[in-house]
């Protein structure tokens, strides 16, 4: 079955409105001969002459009069479908967004995001899921709408990204830990027993490289796959956790935090989404709120921005 040329609907709509091949041609910016050919195709497609000569002009056939309102409506509806969305009715929006985030993100930024979304769009729900890796497949297949984290080599090139904030690693110990008192030095830091966070099970990172440049090596007692687990262990022992500052602000409540005594590069935390959602008004609205919330420094972080070096 051949697919009809839907452009003929626009031609027919103009022809029936103008009642003249010449005027219709001028309106559509076509030559009279091109418009005559289009009318011939319309006659062949519909099986009706549509417009017939009466004196010096053309008159519509009964079939053409029957089609006029329907064709006009279809053309207007088609234009509305293809027109960029102009307004988003948040009160009527019913949708669930799935966000894949790094550990600690939900605890620190989730409450504000949920509160904002709920107040503006009661029918919108946020579903948070953990981020075990940086594979872009969930964004590509649509199972994830928005993601946060550090852009890596695994991130597909077509994925859209926007930086949210910079983060730095800090050291964290329980209150009363020997490292919670006195000046922190590379030697003191390296001499303690450490928790290493790695989803891949590796036991070597930027902090270890920085210590090696000073001729030092820290003792890694255990390896865990998340920052919340590392902080839970540090809270209940003399182990030292090294975690991102902003990602763990709430998780570190009631613990002693200190600036690392070695230079370690900061992290850029970004949000990531698939290009098919780039122009979606609801998705743009959500991205705007996430960007705004992450730009604000929480009180829990303000209290640690001037840690003793």
pLDDT in tens, 44-69: 888 888 888 887 778 888 888 888 88
| Mean pLDDT, residues 123-131 | 94
At 297 the pLDDT is: 63
CB of 239 closer than 8 Å to CB of 250? no
The per-residue pLDDT for range 4-50, each reduced to its tens digit, is 778 888 888 888 888 888 888 888 888 989 888 988 888 888 888 88
Q: Which two tokens stand for residue 71?
A: 């064709």
At 190 the pLDDT is: 95
Half-sphere exposure of 193 (CA within 13 A, CB side): 10
Neighbours of 286 (CB within 10 A): 25
Closest alpha carbon to 98 in 277, 291, 229, 225: 277
CB of 251 closer than 8 Å to CB of 104? yes
What are the structural domains of the chain? 7-82 (1.10.10.10), 90-167+268-302 (3.40.190.10), 169-265 (3.40.190.10)
Q: Which two tokens stand for residue 30?
A: 């076509």
The per-residue pLDDT for range 129-161, each reduced to its tens digit, is 988 788 888 998 899 999 999 888 888 888 999
| H or E segment and range at residue 268 | strand 267-273
CA 65 to CA 36: how far, in whole Å? 19
More confident position, 296 or 93? 93
More confident position, 18 or 1? 18
The structure's pTM equals 0.71
């Amino acid at each position: 079955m051949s697919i009809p040329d839907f452009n003929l609907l626009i031609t027919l709509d103009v022809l029936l409105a103008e009642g003249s091949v010449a005027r219709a041609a001028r309106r559509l910016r076509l030559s009279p001969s091109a418009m005559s050919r289009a009318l011939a195709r319309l006659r062949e497609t519909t099986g009706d002459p549509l417009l017939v000569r009466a004196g010096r002009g053309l008159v519509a056939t009964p079939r053409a009069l029957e089609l006029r309102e329907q064709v006009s409506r279809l053309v207007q509806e088609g234009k509305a479908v293809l027109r960029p969305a102009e307004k988003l009715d948040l009160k009527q929006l019913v949708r669930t967004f799935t966000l894949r985030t790094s550990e600690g993100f939900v605890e620190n930024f989730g409450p504000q995001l949920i509160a904002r979304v709920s107040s503006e769009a009661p029918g919108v729900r946020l579903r948070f899921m953990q981020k075990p890796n940086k594979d872009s497949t969930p964004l590509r297949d649509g199972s994830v709408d928005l993601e946060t984290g550090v852009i890596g080599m695994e991130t597909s090139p077509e994925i859209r990204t926007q930086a949210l904030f910079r983060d730095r690693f800090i050291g964290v110990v329980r209150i009363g830990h020997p490292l919670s008192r006195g000046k922190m030095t590379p030697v003191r830091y390296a001499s303690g027993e450490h928790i290493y966070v790695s989803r891949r099970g590796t036991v070597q990172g930027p902090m270890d490289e920085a210590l090696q440049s000073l001729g030092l090596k820290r003792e890694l007692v255990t390896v865990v796959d998340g920052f919340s687990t590392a902080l839970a262990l540090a809270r209940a022992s003399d182990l030292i956790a090294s975690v991102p500052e902003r990602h763990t602000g709430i998780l570190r409540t009631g613990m002693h935090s200190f600036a690392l005594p070695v230079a370690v590069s900061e992290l850029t935390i970004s949000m990531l989404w698939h290009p098919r959602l780039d122009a979606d008004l609801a998705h743009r609205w959500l991205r705007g709120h996430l960007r705004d919330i992450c730009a604000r420094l929480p009180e829990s972080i303000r209290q640690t921005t001037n840690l003793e070096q």
